[in-house]
Amino acid sequence: MRQPITHFARTRDQFESARLSYQRPDVAFFSAGACQILAFAFLETYPHAGFRPRFIYPTPGFDGSHVYVTDGQTAFDAQGYLSEAGLLRRHHAAYAPYWQGGVEDITVPMAEFCAANDHAAPGYFPPGAWERALAYLAQFPEPSALALSRN
């Protein structure tokens, strides 16, 4: 069952320590703190699936940034697949009632995105963050399997 994104928020200590953040369970690590790594690992693993990265960004003064991938209908993040509309609705509801922000496509490489948006690149964490993302992805069906299951 999908949890509100706020369920996986890092503590102040985890926010300030890459090691402590990295030590969290996979779903927590890739929901908050390393969602950008999982998104770009997905794109590298499934380059022809028609997905693109998107960035949910809060208005200054608010928390709640998140990176996920979508094909325009289906979204994928650390908790698996769901409709993009559902992901956005749940994200907003998790930070309600006063949350403000927007969503935009990410059109630059991960390193550039991370540097420009205060997100951690894989090298920020202890060695193995990228490999951990690839292994975590293996738990979920390939995007092509989703299309087959809809027919």
Q: Percent of the chain, pLDDT > 90? A: 86
SS3 81: strand
Contact status, residue 77 vs residue 39, Cβ threshold 8 Å: yes
Contact status, residue 32 vs residue 64, Cβ threshold 8 Å: no
Q: In terms of pLDDT, which residue wins out, 32 or 99?
A: 32
Tokens of 65: 């940034």
Predicted confidence at residue 130, as pLDDT, reads 97
pLDDT tens figures, 42-88:
999 999 999 999 999 999 988 899 999 999 999 999 999 999 999 99
Tokens of 36: 């950008």
Average pLDDT, the chain: 93
pLDDT band per the 50, 70, 90 thresholds, residue 143:
very high
pTM summary value: 0.93
For residue 66, give its domain range.
5-150
pLDDT tens figures, 31-55:
999 999 999 999 999 999 999 999 9
Query: How many independent structural domains does the chain possess?
Result: 1
44: Cβ–Cβ under 8 A, 6 or more apart, which residues? none
pLDDT tens figures, 20-34:
999 999 999 999 999
Contact status, residue 53 vs residue 23, Cβ threshold 8 Å: no
CA atoms 53, 56, 59, 64: torsion sign = negative
From 28, 38, 3, 55, select the one nearest 138 (Cα to Cα).
38
User: Cα(82)–Cα(17) distance, rounded to whole angstroms?
Assistant: 31
Cis before 97 (ω within 30): yes
